[in-house]
Structure 1
């Protein structure tokens, strides 16, 4: 043991600390040294990451379940609305067809009545014109002699 400046106490301490350090020192062979605090911190972050991933997966699962239930409800409401709309459409169509048929029948009856009135008036006028024509023929026959009896000069 060497003595620096003549203090033997320091030399003994240095020798004791070197042997302690050499016994517990990790020799560096290219591997990475990780302390217990670093391992604990990394495991905590990994655990938190896994927990956050699991929580996010759970939220997605719940959202999918809610969306499925809402889709089912919407389909039920849509089917109900389709049924109601079809029923209303059918009833309105039946009412409209009834009204159209009634209007058509009344218009047809009015038209037939009008046609019959025009037919009666035309028949009356034609009969009167025919009788007047007969009267005119008779009057002309009285005034003129028959044509075939006229002698040619």
Structure 2
């Protein structure tokens, strides 16, 4: 059982162009994939640049907002300090007022003492 040379020639004449066509098609597809991959890489790089710009903007805004909140916190602390100072002053005023009221009561008390007791106290 042998294969004659004509059959081998026919098979070879069919296989060689077919394999060449497949090789060309694979090479062409590789080139297209490379081109598409390059485009996609460029787009990703552009997107990365945009993201970096947006991140920089957000960081700048975050810094500004932090500064504003810090100013607000400082103002609130200052206001709380002033309120505390005012409360202390009011407490001192209340203490003075109660002291003055007690003094006034002490001065009023002798007026309520009957004159007879005052004479006895001064005579002794």
**TM-score normalised over the length of structure 1:** 0.58
CA distance, structure 2, for counterparts of residue 107 and residue 40 of structure 1: 98
> How many Å apart are 1:97 and its aligned residue?
1.3
Partner of 2:16: 43
Partner of 2:86: 113
Q: Deviations over 1:42-67 (max 9, x none)?
A: 22211111012112211221232123
Q: Which has the larger radius of gyration?
A: 1
CA RMSD after TM alignment? 3.0
Partner of 1:4: none
Partner of 2:58: 85
> How many Å apart are 1:130 and its aligned residue?
5.9
CA distance, structure 1, for counterparts of residue 13 and residue 37 of structure 2: 36
Give the alignment partner of residue 104 of structure 1, picking from 58, 61, 77: 77
CA distance, structure 2, for counterparts of residue 91 and residue 81 of structure 1: 15
Q: What residue ranges of structure 2 are gaps of 5+ in the alignment?
A: 119-124
**Which of the pair has the greater relative contact order for Cα pairs under 8 Å at 6+ separation?**
1
Alignment length (residue pairs): 114
**TM-score normalised over the length of structure 2:** 0.69
1:4-153 to structure 2, matched below 5 A, reads: 30-33=2-5, 34=7, 36-129=9-102, 132=105
